[in-house]
């Protein structure tokens, strides 16, 4: 704390010094001269009455060598991480909930960059020789684990991470990818993430992050992406880029109106920052170069608004259908990439002028019911398990064409050669023994020869207790395809008793597969270049990122041993051992001839009176004449003595049990 | 006899190991011990209701009832509106089937759930001889079915907002859309009230699937069709349904345009993750009870039961939270039985006596409880032994999903009193909510509590460790008597042989003598399996009444027996003419007993209850079997009574007779005929019950062998 207090004046001082410079100078592209930081928030109404809030923070720093060991804004922990492990690029995401590709869209930059699988996903590219990549990865996982209070260190084990070559990102050799689908995400992960921001959550947009509200949402994904580049040979000065995003999908708490079951559509709930987060923005983070709030109307909504305008001859659609409580500083319109689709709109609000006395509380009030749908990825992907029982099963990935692909491919379908390329990347733990030769591809319910559809495939089979199975595959489907399915059979393996997690009976997870569409890119070009340059979120939107979708995490029930088994095993082993050694000793020790001789010698001795009585009794029971004791009685007398002793002991035991206790 | 043999053997060896001694002792007194053991087995079975333990919730994560119920009157009002919508839509004669499904789908999608329709063809139950123990997916048959056999399930899925979607809880409400029944509509109302609540609760961690099963062709068929498509979909075109050809289904999709496009109803198959548990909700007709009741049905195919914890949770919540009277099925006819009452009183007084000795001894229950417990136990045993699921929940067990059927029986008619109806809606909705919340709490799947148990009341159970004792005691005489008979037979032979010096060739043949008997037994068992396969061919014959089918079956069986005897048994008689053709009956009996023992033990692993009941039926018949001729010749009271006993037991032991007698005992003899047996057997194989195999391959051959012994020519 003391350190922090000491640091703060320094920081402020440095800010004061550097602020004018930052403003005067437009940071251009990838060249970073000075450290800078920008904060942005993107809000977007979603078709299913929810709101997407996407916080975007970017820090940049020139490379360590140029600034020495200290940073003004850039988190030192991250730069140390980069320096120590030679991280070239890295992405870490903590996610809770599932991104709904159907309702929230799958064809926009937010969906393709920020929709992540549940749990933790980490991938990193290292700038080290190939044989040291694994070591760097292991060290990195431990460092991140400490930094983010998460069990990322479990990714250290070679059974949990894989080295994709081209299926995930086209970086061969130095890329490692691992996921922890079961990792629970909570504030303990958010707090260290916020610590990396220069203003933490004390000022600026991050002050909006009211913990209950952001964790109450339907989707919560906190992501950290960093890239670093050394000084290139061409002399391009580069640095470290750190991008921290928090994507939440929340439902504005509107009064629960009495449900109407008419065909009429309901009015979308109106929302404001206070109703979503319970807080207002009371000024920007002073260290930020820019702090901006955007409200985005996606293409589908704009198209619907246009349609409404045409239908009802409304002069201005924005005024009548919804109302923004604050006048936007700027309205950005997307450059029309696709002719048939309407452009997306961005309302820009700069929050630099808002203060505590005049807080920024953006609200959106709907006036008319609107129904629209988000732009979906060309194919809807879902993955599920087939079969039942503890022996075997199959993984099936089903792809179903969405209406989107029709217009996307509409121009090409006339040509017969039109192909839809799909890349599948799937990591399967070793205890799911996938038989890759059983790969079957169905297109429109017809079984296809694998060679006809699969363009390229790389499989690295799993090694028991050593590495997971990895499948990278490029498939080419005909464009007019309605549905496709890929199935792979597997056997369920057996684990050693130590290898079961504490909750073994829940089943085991198969991490999400990634379905990407290399032919489709999400990029949004906006007019007004100046603001795009300034804004990191817009420059991010401009990047050509591949459309991709994560499938569901699967839960495979495996056979679990009875965990009280060790006790049983010990007991039975001891019994078997005792029996075995007893018998062995008997065999070794006994001399049958001698025993017989001894027994004969004993026969001379008369049995006792009690035994005589007993044998007489027995004879009576059997309904036979009493015969004088025969040699056989010696054996039975021996046993009966034991029996009497046993019953005596048992009787005492029972008495003790019943009466004394 | 045996004693002399063992005695001499004992004489030869001075020292014998105690275990060997014990074995010889038991065998030499086999008659006494077999009587004691089987009597003890029956007594232990009768004692089971006394020995039943109280159920307890074993899995701590379940925490039933620890959270306050969130279901409010608002949801109930909405559900009530849905019920009235559905019942009023029934009044419209035209297109009501589609109408009610549309209403349901619309309600679901208004809640924000993902709705999809699942089309299926009801598969006629067919006899697949080799599908008894195979996984359910292999039972799929491609067949051309007309549109009339075409059903549509409506499926709504709520995705848990913060869940990872790996697991799902299933709610099933059977609903016949063609003819809306107020009870079914009410069960939909219950499910809807819970569904609408779950849509907005923050605690949901598992997805919730609500399956409105189209029960036009039976509840089970719809549920199992859905489960089959859920777990083993067929991707190739052959397996998909040509539903587009049917006009009704097109009609169904016409509604998509009516509905808002925001949540288009998806025509594909929607899935959620691995199923954690399933609840089937049904509503019975007005019951004559004084309270609102809840019946739990749990038996799935082949006596499989869901985890006891699921029943415990339902029972706990229903009794302690919602004040419903929980029942499990029982044989009502047993309640008035005199001897059972007397037995109960005896056990009660024994319990009093035990308590007077030591107050810590908790033995004995009131006679009333005893009678109720044994009626429930008998029903539990019977339902497990039958191997036929008692409701749609049985389909889930085939996929290792724990499922039960909850049947709510209202005190008064639901149609009359809206306030009463809403009250019951609220209570049963809260019950379902509580159960779902408990299952939702589960981190691991159900594994903590028992899977092998018999219920004696909703809150009492007998675990496998206890009821196995009764069975073990019951079957213990079989190997005992078999050994003693074998020992006797071989001794008598050796004593005969001692008189005339025999060549070694005969000795070797003598020592293998049991092989002839074994061959005979084997042939009879082979015949048994042929008989069990015959219905497959008989049911291919068109237009057969059950009675004619049954008669054909019997005739074919006899024919096959004769054929088999001629083909397999006669050549052997030619080969060893030196050996008298007769196989001594004791050896044959001993082989029969061993076969019965092996069969019963195998069956007890597959389906315990079948083995228990089968053992009760078969044991006296097998143990008593004795040739009639010498008995009749002897004309002493003892032998004559034995002969009569044998005849009666042999008559009752014949499976159809046993069936008719048992049916008559429980339902009255008035309506029974031999065709019933055929229908019963048909239902057994249609449900892939292992009991059918047991009857065909264990019981029938053993009965035939016993009859053979009875009429033995020695």
Interatomic CA distance for residues B123 and B683, integer angstroms: 14
Q: Is residue B134 part of a domain?
A: no
Sign of CA dihedral B229, B235, B237, B238: negative
The three-class DSSP label of residue B677 is helix
pLDDT of A32 reads: 53
If asked whether residues B189 and B179 sit together in one domain, one would say: yes
| ipTM, two decimals | 0.85
- Residues within 8 A of B (CB atoms), A 212-271 only: 216-218, 220, 256, 259, 261, 263, 265
Same domain, B654 and B608: yes
DSSP conformation letters of A490-524: EEE----GGGS-TTGGG-EEEPPPEEEEEEEEE--
Query: Residues of B with CB below 8 A from A47's CB?
Result: 262
Decide if B454 is inside a domain.
no
Q: Is there a single domain that holds both residue B659 and residue B670?
A: yes
**Backbone phi, then psi, for A535, in 5-degree steps?**
-90, 130
> Measured on CA atoms in the order B527, B532, B533, B536, is the torsion positive or negative?
positive
How many domains does chain B contain in total? 4
Candidate from B106, B235, B447 with C-beta closest to A505: B447
Tokens (6 digits) for B323: 């004040």
**CB within 8 Å: B235 and A485:** yes
Q: Residue A251: helix, strand or coil by DSSP?
A: coil
Q: Residues B182, B87: contact at Cβ < 8 Å?
A: yes
What does the DSSP assignment read for A75-95?
-HHHHHHHHHHTEEEEEEEEE
Q: Tokens standing for B246?
A: 């049917």
Is residue B135 in a domain?
Answer: no
Q: Are residues B599 and B681 in the same domain?
A: yes
B137 with A387: Cβ contact below 8 A = yes
Residue B379 to residue B295: CA distance in whole angstroms:
13
- Is B458 a member of any domain? no
Check residues B470 and A35 and name the one with the higher pLDDT: B470
Euclidean distance between CA atoms A338 and A171, whole angstroms:
30
- On chain A, the residues whose CB falls within 8 A of the CB of B199 are none
A:B CB pairs within 8 Å:
141
Give whichever of A263-267, B379-383, B563-567 has the largest mean pLDDT: B379-383
Residue B3 pLDDT: 39
Of the partner residues B21, B163, B274, the one whose CB lies closest to the CB of residue A557: B274
- The H or E element that residue A428 is part of is strand A419-428
The reply to whether CATH 3.40.630.10 applies to domain A379-523 is no
Say what percent of chain B tops pLDDT 70. 81
Q: Which residues of chain B does A485 touch, with a Cβ-Cβ cutoff of 8 Å?
A: 235
Spatial separation of the C-alpha atoms in residues B301 and B669, rounded to whole Å: 28
Q: What is the pLDDT of residue B123?
A: 65
Q: Which residues contact B3 (CB under 8 A, 6 or more apart)?
A: A622, A624, B28
Distance (Å) from the alpha carbon of A632 to chain B's nearest alpha carbon = 5
Please give the Cα distance from A397 to A488 (Å, whole number).
9
Write the DSSP assignment of B341-406 as a string of letters.
HHHHHHHHHHHHHHHHH-TT------HHHHHHHHHHHHHHHHHHHHT--SSTTHHHHTTT-EEEEE
Q: Which residues of chain B lie closer than 8 angstroms to A556, CB-CB?
A: 274
A570 to chain B, closest Cα gap in Å: 21
CB B123 within 8 A of CB B688: no
B119 sits in which H/E element: strand B114-121
Residue B532 pLDDT greater than 60, yes or no: yes
CB contact under 8 A, B3 and A624: yes
> Cβ B10–A554 below 8 Å, yes or no?
no
Residues in chain A within 8 Å Cβ distance of B231? 386-388
Taking 60 as the threshold, does the pLDDT of residue B278 lie above it?
yes
Mutate to test the interface with B, among A118, A632, A644 (most CBs of B within 10 A): A632
Tokens linked to B518: 């074994």
Q: Are residues B394 and B373 in the same domain?
A: no
DSSP secondary structure letters along B578-601: SS-SPPPHHHHHHHHHHHHHHHHH
- What residues of chain B lie within 8 A of the CB of A560, using their CB? 447
pLDDT score recorded for residue A13: 40
Residues of chain A positioned with their CB less than 8 A from the CB of B112: 48
For residue A69, report the phi and psi dihedrals to the nearest 5 degrees.
Answer: -100, -5
Closest CA to A564 of B448, B444, B57, B312: B448
* Closest chain A C-alpha to B651 CA, distance in angstroms: 35
Three-class secondary structure of residue A386 per DSSP: strand
CB contact under 8 A, B273 and A552: yes
Residue A607 pLDDT > 60, yes or no?
no
Eight-state DSSP code of residue B565: I
Closest CA to B462 of B373, B382, B397: B373
Q: State the pLDDT at residue B176.
A: 86
Given the structure tokens 């079951």, which residue do they identify? A261
Do both B250 and B344 map to the same domain?
no
Give residue A99's pLDDT: 92
| B107 contacts B191 by C-beta, under 8 angstroms | no
* CB contacts, 8 Å: A94 with chain B: none
Which residues in chain B are contacts of A372 at CB distance < 8 A?
262
Estimate to the nearest angstrom the gap between the alpha carbon of A87 and the chain centroid.
Answer: 22
* Shared-domain flag, residues B180 and B309: yes
Phi and psi, residue B658, nearest 5°: -60, -40
Contacts of residue B271 in chain A, CB cutoff 8 Å?
382, 384
Identify all chain B residues contacting A263, using CB atoms and an 8 Å cutoff.
258-260
Q: Tell me the pLDDT tens digit for each residue of A191-225.
A: 999 999 998 888 889 999 999 889 988 999 999 99
Interface test with B, best of A220, A384, A604 (most B CBs within 10 A): A384
pLDDT in tens, A124-177: 999 899 899 999 999 999 999 999 999 999 999 999 999 998 888 887 788 999
Instruction: Name, of A256-270, A526-540, B393-407, the range with top average pLDDT.
Output: B393-407
- How far does the CA of residue A216 sit from the closest CA of chain B (Å)? 8
For residue A505, list chain B residues with Cβ-Cβ distance below 8 A.
444-445, 447
Hey, are the CB atoms on B14 and A447 less than 8 Å from each other?
no
> Taking 50 as the threshold, does the pLDDT of residue B7 lie above it?
no
Q: A634, B14: Cβ pair inside 8 Å?
A: yes
Instruction: Tell me the domain boundaries of chain A.
Output: 379-523, 562-592
pLDDT classification of A376: cutoffs 50, 70, 90: confident
In this structure, what are the phi and psi dihedrals at residue A146, rounded to the nearest 5 degrees?
-70, -35
Asked if B78 and A118 come within 8 Å (Cβ–Cβ), the reply is no
Q: Is the pLDDT of residue B466 over 70?
A: yes
Inter-chain CB proximity B262 and A371 less than 8 Å = yes
The answer to whether A503 contacts chain B (CB < 8 Å) is: yes
Chosen for mutation from B15, B86, B159, B257 (greatest number of chain A CBs closer than 10 Å) is: B15
Say whether A553 and B166 touch across the interface (CB within 8 A): yes
Compute the distance between CA of residue B531 and CA of residue B558 in angstroms, rounded to an integer.
9
| Domain termination site, one of B367, B389, B411 | B389
Same domain, B120 and B43: no
CA distance, residue A473 to nearest chain B CA (Å)? 20
Selection from B400, B589, B384, B398 nearest residue B480 by Cα: B589
Contact A112, A106 (CB under 8 A): yes
> What pLDDT does residue A27 have?
37
Got the DSSP string for B14-62? S---HHHHHHHHHHHTHHHHHHHHHHHHHHHHHHHHHHPEEP----GGG
CA distances from B79 to A295, B11, B193 (A): 38, 84, 5
Pair B351, B367: CB distance under 8 Å: no
Q: Identify the band that residue A523 occupies on the pLDDT scale cut at 50, 70 and 90.
A: confident
> Tokens 């010696």 correspond to what residue?
A634
| Contact between A283 and A236 (Cβ < 8 Å) | no
d(CA B343, CA A257): 63
Residue bearing the bigger pLDDT, B263 or B345: B345
Distance of CA A128 to the CA centre of its chain: 27
CA distance A176 to A173: 8
pLDDT digit string (tens) for B120-130? 876 655 555 55
User: Which two three-digit tokens encode residue A631?
Assistant: 């040699």
A384 contacts B166? CB cut-off 8 A: no
Task: Please indicate whether residue B630 or residue B54 has the higher confidence score (pLDDT).
Answer: B54
**B477 in a structural domain:** yes
Residue B421 structural domain: 60-125+140-329+390-445
Q: Is the pTM of this model over 0.95?
A: no
Interface contact A552, partner B, CB < 8 A: yes
Number of residues written out for chain A = 661
At residue B313, the pLDDT reads: 93
- Examine the pLDDT at A456 and tell me if it is beyond 70: yes
Chain B contact probe: residue of A117, A119, A388 with most B CBs at under 10 A: A388
Taking residues B616-638, report their average pLDDT: 87
Residue B459 lies in a domain: no
Residue with tokens 């027994």: A599
Does B240 sit within 8 Å of A387, measured CB to CB?
Answer: no
Closest-CA residue in chain B for A182? Answer: B164
3-class DSSP assignment, residue A265: coil
Low-confidence winner among A22-31, A378-387, B26-35 (lowest mean pLDDT): A22-31
Q: Number of C-alpha atoms within 13 angstroms, CB side, residue B434?
A: 26
Q: Residue range A650-660: average pLDDT? A: 79
Distance CA B242, CA B66 (A): 49
B461-474: average pLDDT: 92
B670 and B553 share a domain? Answer: yes
Extract the tokens encoding B172: 């099933």
How is residue A320 written in tokens? 């009548």
Contact residues, chain A, for B444 at CB < 8 Å: 503-506
Given the structure tokens 């089971």, which residue do they identify? B48
| B577 within a domain of the structure (yes/no) | yes
Structure tokens at A530: 């100046």
Residue in A386, A400, A440 closest to B268 by CB: A400
**Does the pLDDT at position B250 exceed 50?**
no
Return the axis-axis angle of helices B182-198 and B418-441, rounded to nearest 10°: 50
Name the residue among B135, B358, B445 with its Cβ closest to that of A658: B358
Range with the lowest mean pLDDT among A426-440, B231-245, B516-530, B673-687?
Answer: B231-245
From B512, B530, B550, the end of a domain falls on B512
Paired tokens of B7:
């005695």
3-state secondary structure of B126: coil
For residue A522, the model assigns a pLDDT of 80
* Residue B482 to residue B495: CA distance in whole angstroms: 20
Compute the 3-state secondary structure of chain B and give helix, strand, coil in percent, each to the nearest 5.
60, 10, 30
Q: Are residues B18 and B68 in the same domain?
A: no
- Closest of B169, B112, B629, B694 to residue A269, by C-alpha: B112
Q: Which residue has the tokens 């920020």?
A: A114
Do B177 and B76 fall into the same domain?
yes
Contact status of A445 with chain B (Cβ, < 8 Å): yes
Chain B CB contacts of A384 below 8 Å: 271
- A238 in Cβ contact with A229 (< 8 Å): yes
Residue A507 contacts B, CB cutoff 8 Å: yes
Q: Quick one: which H or E segment has residue A435?
A: strand A432-443
Rounded to 5 degrees, what are φ and ψ at B280?
Answer: -100, 125
Q: Is B260 exposed, middle or buried (0-12, 13-18, 19+ CB in 10 A)?
A: middle
B136, B400, B444 member nearest A505 (Cβ): B444
Neighbours of A348 (CB within 10 A): 19
Domain assignment present for residue B453? The answer is no
- The answer on B179 and B73 residing in a single domain is yes
* Measured distance CA(A617)–CA(A309) in Å, rounded: 112
A557 phi/psi in degrees, rounded to 5: -75, 125
The lowest-confidence range among A277-291, B87-101, B328-342, B639-653 is B87-101
């Amino acid at each position: 704390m003391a350190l922090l207090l000491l640091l703060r004046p320094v920081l402020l001082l440095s800010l004061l010094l550097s602020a004018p410079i930052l403003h005067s100078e437009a940071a251009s592209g990838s060249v970073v001269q000075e450290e800078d930081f920008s904060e942005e928030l993107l809000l977007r109404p979603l078709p299913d009455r929810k709101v997407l809030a996407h916080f975007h923070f970017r820090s940049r720093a020139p490379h360590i060598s140029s600034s020495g060991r200290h940073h003004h804004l850039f988190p030192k922990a991250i730069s140390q991480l980069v320096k120590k492990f030679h991280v070239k690029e890295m992405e870490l995401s903590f996610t809770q909930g599932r991104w709904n590709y159907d309702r929230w869209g799958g064809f926009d930059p937010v969906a393709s960059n920020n929709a992540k699988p549940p749990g933790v996903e980490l991938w990193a590219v290292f700038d080290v020789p190939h044989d040291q990549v694994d070591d760097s990865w292991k060290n990195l996982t431990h460092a991140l684990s400490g930094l983010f209070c998460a069990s990322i260190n479990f990714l250290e084990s070679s059974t949990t991470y894989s080295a994709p070559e081209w299926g995930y990102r086209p970086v061969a050799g130095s890329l490692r990818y691992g996921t922890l689908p079961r990792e629970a995400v909570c504030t303990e992960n958010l707090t260290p993430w916020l610590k990396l921001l220069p203003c933490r959550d004390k000022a600026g947009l991050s002050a909006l992050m009211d913990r209950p509200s952001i964790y109450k949402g339907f989707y919560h994904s906190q992501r950290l992406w960093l890239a670093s580049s050394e000084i290139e040979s061409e002399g391009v000065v580069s640095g470290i880029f750190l991008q921290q995003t928090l994507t939440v999908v929340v439902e504005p708490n509107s009064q629960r109106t009495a449900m109407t079951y008419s065909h009429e559509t309901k009015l979308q709930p109106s929302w404001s920052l206070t109703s979503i987060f319970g807080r207002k923005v009371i000024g920007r983070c002073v260290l930020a170069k820019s702090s901006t709030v955007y409200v985005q109307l996606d293409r589908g909504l704009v198209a619907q608004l246009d349609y409404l305008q045409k239908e009802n001859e409304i002069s201005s659609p924005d005024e009548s259908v919804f109302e923004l409580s604050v006048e936007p500083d700027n309205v950005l319109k997307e450059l029309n990439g696709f002719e048939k689709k309407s452009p997306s709109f961005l309302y820009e609000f700069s929050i630099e002028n808002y203060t505590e006395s005049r807080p920024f509380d953006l609200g959106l009030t709907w006036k008319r019911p609107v129904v629209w749908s988000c732009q979906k990825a060309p194919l809807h992907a879902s993955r599920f398990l087939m079969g039942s029982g503890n022996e075997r099963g199959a993984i099936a990935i089903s792809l179903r064409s969405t209406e989107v692909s029709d217009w996307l491919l509409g121009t090409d379908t006339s040509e017969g050669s039109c192909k839809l390329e799909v890349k599948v990347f799937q990591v399967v733990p070793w205890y799911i023994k996938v038989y890759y030769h059983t790969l079957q591809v169905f297109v429109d319910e017809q079984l296809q020869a694998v060679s006809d559809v699969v363009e390229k495939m790389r499989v690295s089979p799993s090694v028991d207790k050593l590495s997971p199975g990895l499948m990278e595959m490029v498939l080419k489907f005909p464009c007019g395809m309605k549905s496709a399915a890929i199935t792979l059979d597997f056997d369920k393996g057996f684990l050693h008793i130590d290898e079961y997690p504490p909750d073994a009976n829940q089943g085991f997870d198969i991490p999400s597969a990634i379905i990407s569409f290399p032919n489709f890119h999400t990029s949004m070009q906006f007019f007004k270049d100046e603001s795009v340059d300034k804004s990191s979120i817009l420059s991010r939107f401009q990047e050509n990122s591949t459309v991709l979708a994560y499938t569901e995490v699967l839960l495979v029930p495996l056979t679990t041993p009875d965990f009280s088994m060790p006790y049983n095993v010990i007991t039975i082993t001891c019994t078997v051992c005792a029996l075995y050694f007893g018998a062995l000793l008997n065999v070794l020790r006994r001399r049958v001839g001698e025993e017989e001789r001894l027994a004969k010698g004993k026969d001379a001795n008369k049995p006792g009176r009690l035994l005589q009585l007993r044998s007489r009794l027995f004879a009576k029971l059997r309904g036979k004449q009493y015969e004088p004791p025969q040699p056989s009685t010696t054996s039975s007398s021996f046993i009966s003595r034991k029996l009497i002793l046993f019953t005596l002991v048992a009787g005492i035991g029972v008495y003790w049990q019943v009466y004394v206790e | 006899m045996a004693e002399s043999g063992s005695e001499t053997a004992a004489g030869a060896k001075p020292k014998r190991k105690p275990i060997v001694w014990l074995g010889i002792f038991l065998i030499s007194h086999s008659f006494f011990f077999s009587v004691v053991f089987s009597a003890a087995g029956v007594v232990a079975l009768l004692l089971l209701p006394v020995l039943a333990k109280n159920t307890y919730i074993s899995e701590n994560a379940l925490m039933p009832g620890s959270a306050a119920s969130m279901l409010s009157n608002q949801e109930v009002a909405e559900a009530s509106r849905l019920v009235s919508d559905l019942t009023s839509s029934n009044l419209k004669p035209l297109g009501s089937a589609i109408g009610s499904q549309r209403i349901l789908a619309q309600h679901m999608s208004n809640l924000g759930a993902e709705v999809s329709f699942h089309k299926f063809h009801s598969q006629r139950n067919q006899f697949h001889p080799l599908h008894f123990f195979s996984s359910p997916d292999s039972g799929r048959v491609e067949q051309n079915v007309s549109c009339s056999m075409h059903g549509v399930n409506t499926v709504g899925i709520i995705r848990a907002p913060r869940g990872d979607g790996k697991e799902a809880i299933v709610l099933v409400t059977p609903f016949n859309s063609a003819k809306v029944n107020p009870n079914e509509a009410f069960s939909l109302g219950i499910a809807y009230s819970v569904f609408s609540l779950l849509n907005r609760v923050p605690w949901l961690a598992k997805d919730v699937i609500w399956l409105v099963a189209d029960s036009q062709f039976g509840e089970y068929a719809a549920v199992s069709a859905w489960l089959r498509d859920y777990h083993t979909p067929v991707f190739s075109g052959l397996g998909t349904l040509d539903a587009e050809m049917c006009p009704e289904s097109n009609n169904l999709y016409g509604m998509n345009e009516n509905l808002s496009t925001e949540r288009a109803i998806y025509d594909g198959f929607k899935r959620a993750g691995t199923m954690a548990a399933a609840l089937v909700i049904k509503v019975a007709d007005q019951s004559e009870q004084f309270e609102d009741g809840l019946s739990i049905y749990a038996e799935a195919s082949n006596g499989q039961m869901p985890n006891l914890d699921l029943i415990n949770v339902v029972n706990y919540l229903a009794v302690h939270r919602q004040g419903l009277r929980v029942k499990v099925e029982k044989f009502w006819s047993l309640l008035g039985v005199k001897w059972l009452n007397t037995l109960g009183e005896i056990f009660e007084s024994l319990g009093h006596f035990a308590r007077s000795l030591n107050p810590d001894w908790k033995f004995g229950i009131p006679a009333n409880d005893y009678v109720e417990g044994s009626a429930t136990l008998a029903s539990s045993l019977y339902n497990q032994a039958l191997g036929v699921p008692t409701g749609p929940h049985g389909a889930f067990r085939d996929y290792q999903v724990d499922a039960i059927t909850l049947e709510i029986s209202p005190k008064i008619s639901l149609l009359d009193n809206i306030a009463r109806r809403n009250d019951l809606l609220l209570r049963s909705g809260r019950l379902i909510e509580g159960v779902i919340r408990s299952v939702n709490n589960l981190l691991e799947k159900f594994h903590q509590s028992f899977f092998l148990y018999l219920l004696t009341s909703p809150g009492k159970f007998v675990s496998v460790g206890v009821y196995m004792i009764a069975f073990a005691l019951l079957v213990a005489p079989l190997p005992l008597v078999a050994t003693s008979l074998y020992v006797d037979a071989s001794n008598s032979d050796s004593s005969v042989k001692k008189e005339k010096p025999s060549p070694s060739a005969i000795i070797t043949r003598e020592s293998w003598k049991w092989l002839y008997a074994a061959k005979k037994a084997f042939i009879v068992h082979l015949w048994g399996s042929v008989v069990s396969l015959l219905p497959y061919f008989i049911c291919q014959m068109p237009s057969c009444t059950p009675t004619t089918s049954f008669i054909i079956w019997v005739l074919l069986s006899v024919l096959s027996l004769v054929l088999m005897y001629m083909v397999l048994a006669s050549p052997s008689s030619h080969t060893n003419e030196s050996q008298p053709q007769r196989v001594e009956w004791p050896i044959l009996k001993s082989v029969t007993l061993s076969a019965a023992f092996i069969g019963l033990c195998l069956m007890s692993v597959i389906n315990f209850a079948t083995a228990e009941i089968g053992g009760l039926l078969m044991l006296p018949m097998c143990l008593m079997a004795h040739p009639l001729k010498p008995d009749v010749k002897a004309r002493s009271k003892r032998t004559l009574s034995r002969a009569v006993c044998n005849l009666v037991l042999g008559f009752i032991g014949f499976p159809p007779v046993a069936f008719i007698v048992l049916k008559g005992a429980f339902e009255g003899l008035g309506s029974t005929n031999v065709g019933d047996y055929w229908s019963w057997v048909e239902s057994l194989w249609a449900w892939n019950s292992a009991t059918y195999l047991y009857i065909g391959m264990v019981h029938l051959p053993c009965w035939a062998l016993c009859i053979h012994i009875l009429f033995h020519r020695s």
